Structure 1
């Protein structure tokens, strides 16, 4: 089973408008609302790819009830920790005249110390019956920056392989616990390493440094250009298929889901990277974030180009 942890779960709302401008009234002819947050997106895509998955994290209030109810409708297992307050709403406004996307993200509720203890216990319980535990997204208010590191230690002690996809101090602290897989972007790699990346070869060496430091697999996103990954001292350049993107929000989460599914199935690293890239690309063909059509993923697999560096 793949367990995903979303500490700051959300309702993702997407507004499709004919023209978006600030300082004016805008009518919304089309809207989608569904459970969101990076880890929930990972769980959804893993489920769509046919792999058993379960979503956990914090939920709060009526928005939290909506998240749980909608996940149940989608057939996605969930076991959240409920806290006081109201889960956040993340709004994505898509201007259909230009294709531009504008995101407005609420902060979310605040976790108390007792909530953190409940979450640590939940992760330990679920990790004991999971092959992979994937931690994704931002920290909730009231959660210390080293909390991911604590949860990673807990999940590893229970025997699970750990993924981490976050940013800022949560990433810097989290990698100290040596997760199995991380997916930073170039700016985040520079912050981790503590030096500016002047050229692509600097990125190569930085990835190898992270692997030598104890993180087994590192994949660095390059956006529509694909990614560069490292595993067991070998570097890979992955080129994504060319498509006409509909919505790129959630592509990174879908990439993580593909990696988790591939590793859960015992596939080779190149097969995992191929599935991850096809999944991330397939997400861009959908209006909803963290959603793929399995037929698209299957079709795109053969279009992914992987070269050893």
Structure 2
């Protein structure tokens, strides 16, 4: 695959993991955070990434060469305050958090510089991924609303995996693709519970609010997708998980990569599902082999909800469903 994706990653993290796969303990340093994990998977899928971020403090000095080593075209705004990070210990087989530091909120001038930098790069890319901050307090939600509006108005396709106020903000401007988990929908009050009828209604609500295509992940259950007015279950082979984290970010990255290469949305969702499924079989977020992911795509199916074909739904009918009419 080839394609140019701009990834907006305002608050990257330094991840320190203590592991012991054999007799001696090991310490691993990596860049992390949602945008970094998404960018890593896009590169794994053969896509080209421009990663726009802000770095500062001692952690920022360590992060910069690590980010360059990821194979991305790194664009940086230097910030006065420091970046965040965490230390995890998984020597006992499970991940134990030792310490986590979110970092400081970006200042007004830093936000202006980062917005201008990322907007310029996004206007040159067919697809932009707006990744969320590692803590909602670090970047105001309205910045995402402006981003989605400016990119969309100039022909860009905006891909997001957001929740809370940041999701509401981008919906106000409209996005081409939204991925959200069922837990996030429940937490945000967009679904009462994990019942499929509730989640299906939430799909229509999100579409009516501004998301052209929507995928709701459901942990170990098939994801639900609303594409072209039809609701599908995303069915795929079950794989044993080594680390269940990171599937959603890998799915979002797979969708963005295919779209940037000129692929259609259904192929993009199937590729994203394959990337997410394969990622959980590995230790390392946003990682995966291109050949393995490509082999898995053929096993992913979009099955009409209820197992039967559905008629194409008009925009007016979507609005009626969202309103409960």
Q: Flag whether TM exceeds 0.5 (same fold).
A: yes
Aligned partners of 2:221, 2:194: CA distance in 1, in Å? 18
1:284 — aligned with what? Answer: 280
1:7 — aligned with what? Answer: 10
Gaps of 5+ in 2: 306-325
CA 296–141 in structure 1, closer or farther in 2 if over 3 Å, else same: same
Mapped contact 1:38–1:137 kept (Cα < 8 A): yes
Indicate the SS of the match to 1:180: strand
Aligned partners of 1:50, 1:244: CA distance in 2, in Å? 25
Aligned partners of 1:198, 1:75: CA distance in 2, in Å? 38
Indicate the SS of the match to 1:217: strand
Deviation at 1:8, TM superposition (A): 1.2
Is residue 29 of structure 1 aligned with residue 25 of structure 2?
Answer: yes
Aligned partners of 2:73, 2:164: CA distance in 1, in Å? 29
2:89 — aligned with what? Answer: 93
2:104 — aligned with what? Answer: 109
CA 213–109 in structure 1, closer or farther in 2 if over 3 Å, else same: closer
Aligned partners of 1:245, 1:291: CA distance in 2, in Å? 14
Greater displacement, 154-163 / 256-265: 154-163
Q: How many residues are matched?
A: 299
Mapped contact 1:14–1:33 kept (Cα < 8 A): yes
Mapped contact 1:108–1:140 kept (Cα < 8 A): no
Indicate the SS of the match to 1:146: helix
Gaps of 5+ in 1: 19-26
Aligned partners of 1:263, 1:133: CA distance in 2, in Å? 10
CA 28–176 in structure 1, closer or farther in 2 if over 3 Å, else same: farther
1:224 — aligned with what? Answer: 220
Deviation at 1:248, TM superposition (A): 2.4
Is residue 268 of structure 1 aligned with residue 270 of structure 2?
Answer: no
Aligned partners of 1:255, 1:194: CA distance in 2, in Å? 22
Aligned partners of 2:136, 2:17: CA distance in 1, in Å? 22
2:77 — aligned with what? Answer: 81
Is residue 134 of structure 1 aligned with residue 137 of structure 2?
Answer: no
Aligned partners of 1:5, 1:57: CA distance in 2, in Å? 6
Q: What TM-score, normalized to structure 1?
A: 0.88
Mapped contact 2:7–2:49 kept (Cα < 8 A): yes
Mapped contact 1:84–1:109 kept (Cα < 8 A): no
